[in-house]
Chains A and B, each alone.
Chain A
């Protein structure tokens, strides 16, 4: 009995040790949103967001623990206070600000558009009647698709990650998907995903921002903004973009 009790205690302690924080902040991100965040061959997260975050943290002298939670789980974690902030290619929109997001300054501008399977003859929204369109839960692309679904008569199917919705289009479970244009372009170019972007389907787009969900975390946003301004001034920012976008 004593042995059992000490085992239980040891396990409980081990759990506490894991959850004890060694870093200044916990930052949440998406699982796969290439080229902003994705795992390299060794499973380390790399990408524009990851490098910007690292550069900003170094510039501002804070440490952080990265949690790769997925898109909607990142939002939930920040709201619940399980994470301090998130960087996951989140578009800065008025609707999000109104519902509690607090954004940093924008660090990249992206539009949302539609993609279809490489061999598909769908040329625009009008060809989507009665078909399924895959989007990622709670994204700007999801709102964009939903705003069009009534007029063009298609069904919006929601999934948890960008690779999931691309798979659905490649596999024929959905006729098209809506996602951020630079992300889909990079998956097509770097991963050879057999999709094609459809011309004339983009919205006006918005800036990506780092986000927190509580006024108490404003300090983290301020640090991010200051760091972002510094890395833009010293050329680090341009170097990061060039590294992933090859321009």
Chain B
């Protein structure tokens, strides 16, 4: 355990940094995608709702590892080698962020849709009958109430996404699991290395949970 910490501690910490960076990019774009698609699935337009449903079902129906291979290897291959246009490549960070954003975005959209639908329809009707436009009512009346019920699910999704970054070890992104595999291949101390890596994830996720509880407490007041 000590040998690993002494020789590979800094390397593993840097890898944790990469994991967090990847999760941060992924979550940021996932929130944007989730909000847009979530709203698209509650508006009146049937077309908009259909597009949102197709997106959510498509992404939810495909394992993230398939999505990762598809974006990192598949899409540039299609573009450069099949369509013979040139110059499209993703770095592992870009491909990984896109992958996380799409995957987490689809789940966020569902959380946001469910959150909005959990607010009594009477609220929207009340807002509208006071002469407020649909968007205004959504923004001022519905969303503030919906967000409170969404928060625990959103935090849950953040944690899942943070852990899902480990799947992107397969496209060679030097996040924690990819780096740990290299450490194991050099030291052959699998138990010690994976124990350290497990604890590192656990610490970060506990911190995230603590921050989330604090946020929830403040919003409840």
Residues of A within 8 A of B (CB): 72, 75-76, 79-80, 99-100, 134, 137-138, 142, 157-160, 164, 167-168, 170-173, 213
Is B55 an interface residue, CB under 8 A from the partner?
no
Among the listed B81, B90, B190, which residue makes an inter-chain contact with A173, where contact means beta carbons less than 8 Å apart? B90
Q: State whether the Cβ of B170 lies closer than 8 Å to any Cβ in chain A.
A: yes
Task: Give the Cβ gap from A137 to chain B, nearest Cβ, in Å.
Answer: 5
Q: Establish whether residues B80 and A171, one from each chain, have CB atoms under 8 Å apart when the complex forms.
A: yes
A interface majority secondary structure: mixed
Number of interface residues of B (CB under 8 A): 23
Provided the pairs A72-B181, A159-B170, A171-B89 are in contact, do residues A80 and B190 lie with their beta carbons within 8 angstroms?
A: yes
Contact: B73 with A75, CB < 8 Å?
no
Contact check, B181 vs A159: say whether CB atoms are below 8 A apart. Answer: no
With A171-B76, A172-B80, A173-B89 as given contacts, are A137 and B185 in contact (CB-CB < 8 Å)? yes
Say how far A40's CB is from chain B's closest CB, in angstroms.
23
- Verify if B178 is at the interface (C-beta below 8 Å from A): yes
| B190-A159 in contact (CB<8A) | no
Tell me if B73 and A79 are in contact (CB < 8 A): no
B92: Cβ under 8 A from any A Cβ: yes
Contact B178 A158 (CB under 8 A): yes
Nearest Cβ in chain A — how far from B3, in angstroms?
Answer: 12
Contact residues in A for B184 (Cβ distance below 8 Å): 72, 76, 138
Could you tell me the distance between the alpha carbons of A89 and B73 in the complex, rounded to whole angstroms?
Answer: 26
Contact A72 B76 (CB under 8 A): no
Interface presence of B153 (CB below 8 A): no
Query: Do the beta carbons of A171 and B172 come within 8 Å of each other?
Result: no
User: Are A171 and B77 CB-contacts (below 8 A) given A72-B181, A75-B185, A138-B181?
Assistant: yes
A72 vs B170: C-alpha distance when bound (angstroms):
12
9 shortest interchain CB distances as A-B pairs? A138-B185, A157-B172, A172-B89, A159-B172, A171-B76, A99-B188, A167-B73, A137-B181, A171-B77
